[in-house]
Amino acid sequence: MKYGRYEIIEELGRGTMGVVYKAHDPQIDRMVALKVLREDRVVSQEFVVRFLREAKAIGRITHPNIVTVYDVGQDHGTIYIAMEYLEGRPLNDVIKGRRFPVEEAVNICSQVAEALGYAHGRGITHRDIKPSNIILTPDNRIKLTDFGIARIEDPDAAQQTQAGDILGTPVYMSPEQVLGKTADGRSDLYALGVIAFEMVTGQRPFDGGNIAAIFQSITHQAPPDPMALGGCGSRTLADLILRSLAKKPEDRFQTGEAMAAALKRCLDSDSHPFPEMTRRPVKAAASKKRVLAALAGVLLTLAVAMIGIQMLRKTPPPPPLKHPPWRLRNQPPN
């Protein structure tokens, strides 16, 4: 079977929007990953628009950690995108049943953060960051894939997404996505924080028996401390992850570059992952020390006073004077 000039070799996977095949491009004799819009989605103009948006989104960017798009076309009544064929495993397969060492988790997440920073700088928000969209190559490089629901920040284009339309995979969605609010690059960095949490602890920060329970946790519950769950091994990395999972976007990292730099600093035990936040904790610690020192001084003074009182009570009174104290020693009595 062919789509355009591409000869289908085998199916690689299926998603909510399409099917991905391994295919051969005879024109330049190379293998490609061919993503084809599912036939049942073709009847929906909204999904067609989103599918074409994926090609437009990743076709605009060139980055070593983002999959390369070669071509887009139509055949058999549907639409296809020819992309770089990747050798490797999706991160969701690698994560299963293990906890990552800090250095390995930092290496993977910092690559994702840098790729997202690059895309965000060009007006592209992924909005569906999850382990299955991150391919880990044999040489431990990552490739970010599937910009199928990416939002292009094009002021001249009509808004394609309806208000309140919830996109993304529930457990990795940010609070603003759950609430149907506008998602930007900080939503992608939130999802990366969820992935980092999962990598170092072996579990997700928010979970539940159904979507409603998951959404309730995401919007209202504080995530557990990764250090308390074991496996994290780094206080600075744990603090970084918790910052990434802040409910308010303004309390998270504002750019992928900033998050990547902070991740790399986690490997330096003498540095803080986000220097701009070091002043407040240091000041708070110094203030606490001053209060404790003052309290210790008060307690010491009280202790000395109590000892003095006890000693006075046990000391016998002095003997009576033979002569009134005002008489001179050489003055005879009357």
Q: Model confidence over 185-239: pLDDT tens digits?
A: 999 999 999 999 999 999 999 988 889 999 999 999 999 999 999 878 889 999 9
Q: What CATH code is assigned to 2-84?
A: 3.30.200.20
Annotated catalytic residue within 29, 75, 128, 188: 128
pLDDT tens-place string over residues 94-109: 998 789 999 999 999 9
Domain chopping of the chain, boundaries: 2-84, 89-277, 280-312
Placement of tokens 């990747």 in the chain: 86
Please report which confidence band the pLDDT of residue 310 belongs to, taking 50, 70 and 90 as the band edges. Answer: low
Please report which confidence band the pLDDT of residue 82 belongs to, taking 50, 70 and 90 as the band edges. Answer: very high
Residue 142 and residue 135 in contact, taking contact as beta carbons nearer than 8 Å: yes
CA 26 to chain centre: 42
Task: Please report which residue ranges of the chain form alpha helices under DSSP H.
Answer: 39-42, 45-59, 91-95, 102-120, 175-178, 185-201, 211-220, 235-244, 256-265, 279-314
Catalytic residue status for 128 = yes
Q: What CATH code is assigned to 89-277?
A: 1.10.510.10
Residue 323 per-residue DSSP state: S
User: What is the dihedral sign for C-alpha 20, 157, 77, 169?
Assistant: positive
User: What is the dihedral sign for C-alpha 283, 285, 288, 290?
Assistant: negative
**CA distances from residue 307 to 294, 298, 301 in whole angstroms, order as listed:** 20, 14, 10
Q: Is the backbone of residue 73 left (phi > 0), alpha (psi -120 to 50) or beta?
A: beta
Closest by Cα among 51, 46, 44 to 72 = 51
Residue 14 and residue 25 in contact, taking contact as beta carbons nearer than 8 Å: no
pLDDT tens-place string over residues 15-66: 777 899 999 999 999 999 999 988 877 777 777 777 777 777 778 889 999 9
Encoded tokens for 120: 């965000």
Bridge partners (DSSP) of residue 321 are none
Residue 112 per-residue DSSP state: H
What whole-number distance in Å separates Cα of residue 249 and Cα of residue 321?
84
pLDDT tens-place string over residues 253-293: 999 999 999 999 998 754 444 444 433 333 334 444 554 55
What whole-number distance in Å separates Cα of residue 281 and Cα of residue 277?
7
Asked whether residue 2 carries a pLDDT value surpassing 90, the answer given is: yes
Tell me what pLDDT residue 321 has.
Answer: 47
> In sequence order, what are the residues at sequence separation of 6 or more whose Cβ sits closer than 8 angstroms to the Cβ of residue 45?
none
Residue 129 and residue 188 in contact, taking contact as beta carbons nearer than 8 Å: yes
What whole-number distance in Å separates Cα of residue 211 and Cα of residue 107?
31
The reply to whether domains 2-84 and 89-277 share a CATH topology is no
Predicted model pTM: 0.75
Encoded tokens for 84: 């770089």
pLDDT tens-place string over residues 108-138: 999 999 999 999 998 889 999 999 999 999 9
